[in-house]
Amino acid sequence: MINFLANPARFMSATAWVAPAFGVLAALLFVIGVRDGLFHSPAEQFQGETVRIMYVHVPAAWWSLGVYTFMAGASFVSLVWRHAMADLAARAAAPIGATFAAICLITGSIWGAPTWGTWWEWDGRLTSMLILFLTYLGYLALVAAVDDEEKASRLAAILCLAGFVNIPIVHFSVEWWSTLHQPASVLRPGGSSIDASMRAPLFTMAGAYFSLFVALAIAHMRASVHRRRVEAARLRAAGAGP
């Protein structure tokens, strides 16, 4: 599959339907998830109605980690096998992952104010998530700052792989250190401790975030292929001039 999609023409042919289909799916899942999260799921015993921000915050946290993991895999393939489409995939994922991380931090602060009595605390989970967000920004800044595209891809891939060490720190921080965050309650050994009436809209919203990621990433990659084709045609035309 990697070799098949390494060819831009094959990639463009195989993904012509992906972005529109996943865009529609994302919109549908967001409508269902927001409706169920706001109106059909119960309030929490101790947090009351403020728990509803979970349906935005938690999937954003999950997929900010998931997108960075995808970027690290794509960066590894790009760095080792000089896979141009893998580089495009990592570049396309970066702004989406950065946005998810920003949503996670912002909604977490809003949730933390009434729950913990503070907008911010330098605990393990919050600090490592902030570092993840800054790593996303560093990746984007590096790609934008280096004019040589091949050099930028190589440096960005190295930065991405170096930053991947933070992913297990974010994930396991609540187990390694004493933090304000509670331990995992959904994806944990022994099954979820969250009632099904809350779990269903949470997973629906997680599916919405994932579908949005696929739609935006594929659309970005296809736009990048089109741009490179236009630039190549322009260079050929300039070389064939009088």
User: Does a structural domain hold residue 5?
Assistant: no
DSSP 8-state symbol, 154 = H
The pLDDT score that the predictor gives to residue 29 is 98
CB–CB of 63/206 below 8 Å?
yes
CB–CB of 57/109 below 8 Å?
no
Give the residue numbers spanning the domain of 123. 17-179+197-237
The pLDDT score that the predictor gives to residue 36 is 95
For the chain, the farthest-separated pair of C-alpha atoms sits apart, in whole angstroms, at 78
Instruction: Measure the CA–CA gap between 137 and 98, rounded to whole angstroms.
Output: 7
Q: Domains in the chain: how many in total?
A: 1
User: Does a structural domain hold residue 206?
Assistant: yes
The pLDDT score that the predictor gives to residue 192 is 64
Write down the pTM of the prediction.
0.93
Instruction: Measure the CA–CA gap between 194 and 41, rounded to whole angstroms.
Output: 11
Give Cβ neighbours of residue 102 (< 8 Å, ≥ 6 apart): 133
CB–CB of 126/120 below 8 Å?
yes
Q: What is the pLDDT of residues 121-150, one digit of tens each?
A: 888 899 999 999 999 999 999 999 999 989
User: Does a structural domain hold residue 7?
Assistant: no
User: Does a structural domain hold residue 141?
Assistant: yes
List of the chain residues with pLDDT < 70? 1-5, 183-193, 240-242
User: Does a structural domain hold residue 26?
Assistant: yes
User: Does a structural domain hold residue 131?
Assistant: yes
User: Does a structural domain hold residue 192?
Assistant: no
The pLDDT score that the predictor gives to residue 66 is 98
The pLDDT score that the predictor gives to residue 237 is 83
User: Does a structural domain hold residue 36?
Assistant: yes
The pLDDT score that the predictor gives to residue 191 is 61
The pLDDT score that the predictor gives to residue 236 is 81
Burial class (CB in 10 A: 0-12, 13-18, 19+), 171: middle
Q: What is the pLDDT of residues 104-125, one digit of tens each?
A: 999 999 998 988 888 998 888 9
